[in-house]
Amino acid sequence: MNAPSRLSNTLLTALAPISWGTTYAVATELLPPNHPLLVASMRSLPIGILLTIGLRKLPKGNWWWRILVLGGLNIGVFQEG
């Protein structure tokens, strides 16, 4: 693997935790306290929008209910509390 490719891979890998950390900081500092569901939703919404824009196609068939279940678990269980 050459040096520019390795560096770009490292920077791309670092982008995920950096972006997740910034959403946490914004959510805890700018959103109202005692509304955990709102905070969890606002932390997840930007990446969902970016993925929808980036992929440029909507899910089909069974993927709609799967998205609802996984989204509900992500927001309601994994990010609550």
- Each residue's pLDDT tens digit, 14-65: 887 887 777 777 777 887 888 877 777 777 787 778 888 888 888 889 999 9
- State yes or no: pLDDT of 79 exceeds 70: no
Residue 21 is predicted with a pLDDT of 76
Q: What is the secondary structure of 14-74 as a DSSP string?
A: HHHHHHHHHHHHHHHHHSPTT-HHHHHHHHHHHHHHHHHHHH-S---TTHHHHHHHHHHHI
- State yes or no: pLDDT of 81 exceeds 60: no
Mean pLDDT of 1-23: 77
